Amino acid sequence: MTVTNASLAELQTMLALRRVPLFRDLDPEDLQRLAMVTEDCWYPPGTALMTEGELGDDLVIVIEGSVRVVLRADDGSNRLVRRCGPGEHIGELAVLRGRPRAATVVAEDTGVRGLVLGGAGLKAILRERPEAAMAMLATLAERIGTQ
């Protein structure tokens, strides 16, 4: 059997998705489906992956590097909300609520490699796989509990 670069990249994406708590319990077929609709992106240091107030319809899963999530204060300064690293996802609130981004997300010093999953793909997997929906609820509840 010959493994092409495309199928090798898909396999690597599936393995990366498997390490994300949100997708950990999904069947290989579901992971493959997700892998086919994600885009592997690189964000240089200091690049905004998402900007507070802008409309967005995608979620980013951090594969390498880290990001800082900041909120704009009334005086124009930025307040650090949290940092996210490999295996964490960001941007799901804008997708689920259909509203503008709640915060700005910036790639830190080493830059960030992320898998970008469009809102339609995310919503489909949450509708079809209750365990993924429960995992996302647990993640969101944990974030709320630490803020």
> 104-125, pLDDT tens digit by residue?
999 999 999 999 988 888 788 8
pLDDT tens by residue, 23-66: 877 788 888 888 888 999 999 999 999 999 999 889 999 999 99
Q: Are 63 and 114 in contact (CB under 8 A)?
A: yes
Dist. CA 143–CA 124, nearest whole Å: 23
CA 129 – CA 131 distance, rounded (Å): 5
- Kindly report the CATH number that applies to the domain delimited by 5-146: 2.60.120.10
pLDDT score of 146: 66
What are the residue ranges spanned by the domains of the chain? 5-146
Residue 6 has pLDDT above 70, yes or no: no
Contact at 8 Å (CB) between 62 and 86? yes
d(CA 53, CA 49): 13
Tell the burial category of 132 from Cβ atoms under 10 Å away from its Cβ (0-12, 13-18, 19+): buried
